[in-house]
């Protein structure tokens, strides 16, 4: 669920609201559950790809928006 959430270019912290918990719980899970910590690392890489795609789309005009603000 976390990887899917962050693949949509949402933050790790906003995942807490998605599952009705708080960000401190997420941070604690990273310390307690190696699988969750690994999922966070994978999810961040997916999020970076999404952000890069948005930036490239803005620079090439495929996505309308303000490149400076981005």
Rounded to 5 degrees, what are φ and ψ at 66?
Answer: -100, 110
Give the integer Cα–Cα distance in Å for 51 and 70. Answer: 9
Q: What is the pLDDT of residue 69?
A: 79
φ/ψ bin of 20: left (φ > 0), alpha (ψ from -120 to 50), beta (otherwise): left
State mean pLDDT over 6-35. 97
Bigger pLDDT: 68 vs 51 = 51
- Predicted confidence (pLDDT) at residue 65 exceeds the cutoff of 80: yes
**pLDDT confidence tier of residue 66, bands split at 50, 70 and 90:** confident
Who contacts 16 (Cβ-Cβ below 8 Å, separation ≥6)?
22, 23, 25, 26
State mean pLDDT over 31-52. 97
């Amino acid at each position: 669920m976390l990887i899917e959430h962050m693949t949509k270019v949402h933050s790790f912290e906003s995942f807490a609201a998605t599952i009705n918990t708080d960000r401190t719980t997420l941070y604690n899970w990273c310390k307690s559950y190696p699988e969750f910590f690994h999922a966070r690392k994978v999810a961040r890489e997916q999020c970076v790809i999404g952000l890069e795609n948005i930036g490239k789309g803005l620079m090439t005009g495929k996505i309308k928006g303000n490149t400076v603000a981005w």
